[in-house]
Amino acid sequence: MNDDEKSFTLVLEAWEGSHNASSNATDFAQMDSLIDRATFSGLIIPGTGWHNLKHNGEHIRIIYRIRVMCNPNYYNTTCSKYCRPRYDRFGHYTCDQMGNKECIVGWRGPNCETAICKPGCHAEHGQCSKPGECTCRPGWQGEKCDQCTPHPGCKHGYCNGSPYQCICDLNWGGILCDRDLNVCGTKEPCRNGGTCENVAPDEYLCKCPEGFSGVNCEKVDNPCAMFPCHHGGTCQQTQAGNSFTCQCLTGWTGETCKISAALLVVKAIDLAAASDSKSIGDARKEDSNFDEVENGTEAALMYDAVYLYAKALDDLDRGEHVKIRKLYCDKAQSWEFGTALVNYMSMNKPYSMLKEGPEQYYGNDRYEGFCIDIIDEIAQILKFNYTLREVADGKWGKTNEKGEWDGMIKELMDMKADMAIADLSISYEREEAVDFTMPFMNLGISILVHKPTKKAHNLFSFLSPLSVDVWIYMATAYLGVSVMLFILARISPNEWENPHPCVQDPDELENKLTLSNSLWHVWASLMQQGCDIAPKAVSTRMVAGMWWFFTLIMISSYTANLAAFLTVERMESPIESAEDLAKQTKIKYGTMATGSTYSFFRDSNIPTFERMWTFMESQRPTVFCKNNQEGVDRVLKEKGDYAFLMESASIEYYVERYCDLMQVGGLLDNKGYGVALPPDSPYTSSISSAILQLGEDGRFIVLKNRWWKLRRGGGKCKDEAAKSGGSANELGLANVGGVFVVLLGGIGIACLIAVCEFIWKSRKLAIDEKDSLFSEMAKELKFAVQCSGSTKPVKTKKDFPPVSSRASMAAETNVDNGSLIQPMLPAHPSSSSNRSEPFHYGFQPS
């Protein structure tokens, strides 16, 4: 086949003989004879169809068919067009018969990589990653991304064609359109007929009528200015100036001339004397002038009607005038007498608790806590009333398998509550369901564990400042430096010196840095003690200097660390972080069975937290608790075999009260507690502003210190820590007993070595003097126990020239008396043979 022209030549041969599929090509040559050969040449267009061919030879007739097909993903008549269908980020298409790309429905572009957005989606402000979507770019919103987004925090404004604008509505001003330019029209602050005038944003001036004063004309300077007298009565101010009297016209009476005199047809009842507690029947009985003859049904009904009407008018005259202004359902602004809101909460220490004590409380007075104080502070700032209610199921709020919410979130979504305040963390899932204010507390998830038991005292605790590896390395370094010092001293010529300075030409030189002396010198340096053996060569001094520097650092580090180890109580804790928890299975751990901590581990895709969630799921339901208090009790009860994962703020609260608990590790996440409100609540921004104000004033710090450290047993563990940490711990025998053990052990070994040396020396003397071992030991021991004199006679060998008996006797006498014995050196110790032999000593009698 010719690749360039797509031409081919086909040669088909027929042979006589046996041949199967397993035969090799070379077997054809061994067949009997060639029957016929068919040859065909031509061009064939690739395709799936077959081409039938015929050959009429001399001996046989052959009918066969052929076809040419392109390799996979190659197309057209020459198989030169490559096209591979795909559905990924590089394209979404199929291939036609000619190898052209055909985009799948919903995609466009040269490689079909661009998704076709939802019809009507703005071409510039909208985008999509999948067909049929319309995702708005930052600054734009709406179903088709054709609406601009106002500036964040813009309260009474809008945008027009450009994102993040804040064009103020009528009568509003400021950067965020939060300043009222028409206070008079919005709030109508002036009372008692005062005229309001806008003077500046959020500022106004009330022009009060005569007889009134104050910022809002609320002060009454002249009682008669309010025209209290009705039906033409004349008002006269009293001398005190704070009250008035009305002079009524004929036919009217009462304090403000409201009561008609014609209604007082029954003179028998004194209204001023009748109290509210008296019934009409009792009033009749007290009327002595009541005419029994006229006491008919009609008269009795008239009597009751007149009395009730007169009493109502009298009560009405005593009432106060209330000025009502309009309320708007879409505004958060309340009237001056406040707004009553229903606040749901969940009971949890120290956020919301029932008051303790024998007193009986009712309503909101039953509760106290951190959140109760916060909502009270917010109510004082925004001037509204509230009613506290406990959520029925006691849950904060999470979704079930059907996506339905429970707890406080459900109450808010069902509009059964106006807000919910508790240790309710702000999460993405909850934010999608309800509105949240600014957080009033920032925190995260941490680990609560039982304090580990104090480390048991060890007699050899003085070895604790350095690890076992360091001790081994130091011992190795000691031996290595000693051997190196010994080798260098043997090599260096400067370490060889004349043992007898008086002899000018000595026959031999001496090296003081023997292996034993090298070990002693290095050991003395390590112990920071002096030594009479010192190196003289530059090389050996270099080794000694580096060893001294090494010992300086090591001894200083050891001393500093030893002080901390012996004076500070140390505790062994197997858990220091979440990674430690995830790596083991001995210590169980869990969370509350509901809430944001539970959701955090369930939804996390971080490997460590995924392993922790898998472990908790395998131990379900034993590791999960109903509430925080149950988890804390379990940590206390199991004493190190259980860890509880909860919010760090709650951990701080319980650690202040249970001294056996502690927090380990840092925060696993960052979140905050906020006030939850129903979706699109008009009070969200107002309450957020109040929370910001409380935070700037430092009220949250004051409230937290009150409920964490001062109330309900707070500060207990801090006091105990102060008592225990006031002074350094005394060192007992358990702390430093090991040093005494080492001292006694060293002395014991030294005594054992001394005994061995004593026996060995006595044995040698016994052999030299041909005496018994016990006799020599007795003589040596007798001299040693006398503890007098610092000199000792030298024993001589038997084969040396004997000393006169008189001298011997004198020597014995002098030894017994403790006299000083002076050796007599030989006159000429020049030869090496004489040096190798013991010197002769004589004794001079006294």
Residues flagged as binding site = 425, 430, 596-597, 647
Distance from first CA to last CA of the chain, Å, rounded?
Answer: 135
| Helical ranges in 383-495 per DSSP H | 407-413, 428-433, 468-491
- Quote the CA–CA distance of 721 and 702 in Å, as a whole number: 23
Q: Is 140 helix (H, G, I), strand (E, B) or coil?
A: strand
Phi, psi of 270 (to 5 degrees): -90, 105
Residue 16: exposure state from Cβ atoms within 10 A (0-12, 13-18, ≥19): exposed
C-alpha radius of gyration, the chain, whole number: 55
DSSP assignments along 245-303, one per residue: EEEPPTTEESTTS-EEGGG---TT--TTT--TTS-HHHHHHH-TT--STT--HHHHHHH
Give the CA distances from residue 258 to residues 220, 247, 262, 272, 598, in Å, rounded to whole numbers and listed in that order: 22, 12, 12, 15, 69
User: Which residue positions form the known binding site for L-glutamate?
Assistant: 425, 430, 596-597, 647
Residue among 293, 598, 282 at smallest CA distance from 427 = 598
Structure tokens at 472: 């081994």
Contacts of 513 (CB under 8 A, 6+ apart): 485, 486, 489, 495, 521, 533, 535, 540
Rounded to 5 degrees, what are φ and ψ at 253? Answer: -150, -175
* Phi/psi at 99 (5° precision): 85, 10
Q: Specify the pairing of strand 212-213 against strand 167-168.
A: unpaired
- The greatest distance separating any two alpha carbons of the chain, rounded to the nearest whole angstrom, comes to 175
Q: Which tokens in the block code for residue 710?
A: 């001062």
The total of other beta-carbon atoms located within 10 Å of residue 656's CB is 20
* DSSP-assigned letter for residue 748: H
Query: What is the full DSSP assignment across 494-548?
Result: GGEE-S-TT-SS-S--EES--HHHHHHHHHHHHTT---S----SHHHHHHHHHHH
Q: What's the rounded Cα separation, in Å, for the pair 670 and 651?
A: 15
| Structural contact between residues 365 and 673, judged by C-beta atoms closer than 8 angstroms | no
Identify the residue whose tokens are 């591979």: 84
CA dist., res. 355 & res. 364, Å (int): 10
- Pairing status of strand 91-95 against strand 195-200: unpaired
Tokens of 283: 């009033």
Q: Which of 725, 460, 660, 723 is nearest to 566 (CA)?
A: 460
Q: Kind of pairing, strands 259-260 and 340-345?
A: unpaired
Q: Which residues pair with 615 in a beta bridge?
A: none
Map residue 474 onto helix, strand or coil.
helix
Tokens at residue 536, please? 């003289």
3-state DSSP call for residue 395? coil
The two three-digit tokens of residue 578, written as one number: 């979440």
**DSSP code string of 329-381:** TT--PPPTT--EEEEEE--BTTTBEEPPSSS---GGGGEESHHHHHHHHHHHH
Tokens for 7, please give them.
């031409």
- Per the CB < 8 A criterion, the answer to whether 823 and 839 are in contact is yes
